[in-house]
Amino acid sequence: MAALEFPRGFRWGTATASYQVEGAVSEDGRGESIWDRFSHTPGKTANGDTGDIACDEYHRYPEDIEHMKRLGVSSYRFSIAWPRIFPTGRGQPNLKGLDYYRRLVDALRAVAIEPVATLYHWDLPQALQEKGGWANRDTAHWFAEYADYVMRKLSGPVSLWITQNEPWVVAFLGHFYGEHAPGLRDPRAAFAVAHHLLLSHGLAVEAFREEHLAGRIGITLNIQLVHPASASPADQAASRLADGALNRWFLDPIFRGCYPEDVVALVQSQGWMPNIGSGDMATIQRPIDFLGVNYYTRTLIAADPSQPLGVRPLPGPGAKTQMGWEVYPEGLYEVLTRLYKEYQPQLKQLYITENGAAYDDHLPVPVELVNDDTTVHDPERVEYLGRHFYQAWRAIQDGVPLAGYFVWALLDNFEWALGYTRRFGLLYVDYPTQRRVWKQSAHFYQKVIAANAIDSSYGEERPASDRKP
C-alpha cells in the first residue's frame, strides 16, 4: 500500500474544551457558568451528569501533556473558561484563573506543542446570563473586553486564537431547541444570539488587529453538510434552505458582510430577524486568518411544511456512530473544497478544528488490572479517522489550503446534555479513578503523525476487519 504524505509542517493536534474536561469548578475563584447552572438543574443532562470533576484536567494537565507528547502532536486546542478569568463576566480579572492557562501554555511550549486557544466554548458566566446572556447585545462587547484581556496576556505563547466555537450550536441548541444551556426555546432570541455571537467575533478580531498582537485569529464553525433526501424539487429547495440556515447564515456575514437573502426572506416572514446596528456587518466581516471547520457527519433534508423553516432532517443510510451520526468521510472533502471555492479569496486558510467519533468503548480488564500496555479496542474509530484523514489529504491534493487537523478529542469527556454516556477520546477515561488508557486509535494516530502520512487503503471502501491499523 502506498503512503499518502501530508505537506511538511502539517499541524496534527487534538482538541478539548474547558467545561468538558477541566472540573475544579469552584477552585481558585472561578465563577459559575451557564453550564454549571444547567447541568445542576434536574432533567437537563443524562444521569444528571455535571462538569464538576469531568477529567480533572485542571490538576492533571501535566499528565495529559505527557500523553500528547507520546502521541507526537504538534498542537493542542483547548478553550479558556471566561468565568475563570472574570468570575462575573467583567470587572476585576481573577489572576489565579489566568495563571492556570499560563501554566498550561508554558507546559505545552516546554515540550514543543503549540497551544491553540478558543476564547468561547460555551461556558458563559452565569452573572451575564442574568443580564440577558447572548440575547443582550452588550454581551458581545463584554466578550470583546474579556477576549482583549486574555489575548494581551497570552499572545505569543498562544499563536492561534479561535474567537467562537460553533455559534450555530450556541444560538440554536441553546435558545431555539433548548437542549443546551441556557435551555431557552425562543426563536427570536436565537437569531439575536447568533447575530451577537458574530458581532462578538468581529469585535475580538478588531481588538486583536488594533493591538498588533502576535499570532493569528479565526473562528470555528460546525459546517453541517446537508443533501436533499430525494431528487424532488421540494427536497432540493429544502436542502438549499437548510444549508442557508445552518451554514451560510454564519459564513456569508464573516466572508461577505451580509446575511444570505434566501434565509433572510424566511426569517423576516416569521418576525425573527435580529436588529442589526449600523457598522455591525463591517465589524463581522473583518478579515480573519483562517477558518476552523468542525466536521462529523452529513444529514439528509426533506421538505416538511409542519417543521420550523419547513425542513425535516433525516439520517443518511450509512453506518452510524454512537451519536447516531452517519459516517460519511467523503463529506469532509466536499465541505473543504466547497468552502474554498465559494469563499476565497477572503478565506485564506483552513484547519479541521474537530473531527472524531463516539463509540461504546470498554476497558478490556477491570481497572485495577490496567497497566501501561493495556489498550482499549476501538477499530471503528480507527477506521473513521483513517477514512477522514484520507479525504483531507485528497482536498489538499486539489489545492485546498488545509494547514492542520485536530482530532476530537484527546480524551473521553463531558458530552454536554449527554453527560458521560458518549466517549469521543483517543484516550479512555475511567472516571472513578481518572485513569487514562490508550485506545487503539491513539496508537494509530501516533503512527500517522510519525509518518506524516496515511495508508492509501483508507481511500477504499472496505470492512475494518480487512485493515491492519
Hey, which residues between 284 and 323 contact ligand IFM (CB under 6 A)?
294
Closest separation in Å from C-beta 347 to ligand IFM: 21
Q: DSSP 3-state assignment of 244?
A: helix
- 29: exposed, middle or buried (C-beta count within 10 Å: 0-12, 13-18, 19+)? middle
Alpha-carbon distance of 297 to 325, in angstroms, equals: 6
Binding-site size for ligand IFM (CB under 6 A) equals: 8
- Helix pair angle (138-154, 187-210), 10° resolution: 30
392 or 417: whose CB is closer to ligand IFM? 417
**Which of 4, 13, 17, 254 is in the footprint of ligand IFM by CB under 6 A?**
17
HSE, side-chain direction, 13 A CA sphere, residue 315: 11
Closest separation in Å from C-beta 181 to ligand IFM: 12
163 or 294: whose CB is closer to ligand IFM? 294
Hey, which residues between 185 and 224 contact ligand IFM (CB under 6 A)?
none
Closest separation in Å from C-beta 178 to ligand IFM: 17
Closest separation in Å from C-beta 435 to ligand IFM: 21
Hey, which residues between 108 and 167 contact ligand IFM (CB under 6 A)?
166
Residue 51's closest CA among 139, 142, 140, 121? 121
Q: Does 64 bind ligand IFM (CB under 6 A)?
A: no
| Pairing, β 75-79 against β 11-15 | parallel
Closest separation in Å from C-beta 421 to ligand IFM: 12
302 or 336: whose CB is closer to ligand IFM? 336
16 or 129: whose CB is closer to ligand IFM? 16
Residue 359's closest CA among 428, 300, 405, 313? 428
How many whole angstroms from its chain centre is CA 342?
Answer: 22
123 or 455: whose CB is closer to ligand IFM? 123
155 or 294: whose CB is closer to ligand IFM? 294
437 neighbors 375 (Cβ within 8 angstroms): yes
Q: Which long-range contacts (C-beta less than 8 Å, at least 24 apart) are formed by 367-374?
A: 367/430, 367/432, 367/433, 367/435, 370/430, 370/435, 370/437, 374/437, 374/438
Closest separation in Å from C-beta 356 to ligand IFM: 7
**Which of 61, 78, 290, 408 is in the footprint of ligand IFM by CB under 6 A?**
408
CA distance from start to end of the chain: 12
Closest separation in Å from C-beta 19 to ligand IFM: 9
**Which of 49, 114, 415, 455 is in the footprint of ligand IFM by CB under 6 A?**
415
413 neighbors 20 (Cβ within 8 angstroms): yes
Hey, which residues between 348 and 367 contact ligand IFM (CB under 6 A)?
354
Alpha-carbon distance of 122 to 247, in angstroms, equals: 19
Site string for ligand IFM, 28-57 (x = CB under 6 A): ------------------------------
Phi and psi at 298, nearest 5°, equal -130, 165
Q: Element (H or E) spanning 290, and its range?
A: strand 290-294
The DSSP output letter for 169 is I
160 or 238: whose CB is closer to ligand IFM? 160
Strand order across the 298-303 sheet: 225-228, 298-303, 311-315
Closest separation in Å from C-beta 152 to ligand IFM: 26
21 or 437: whose CB is closer to ligand IFM? 21
Bond prior to 432 in cis (omega within 30° of 0) = no
Annotated active-site positions, please? 166, 354
Contacts with ligand IFM, residue ranges (CB under 6 A):
17, 20, 166, 294, 354, 408, 415, 424
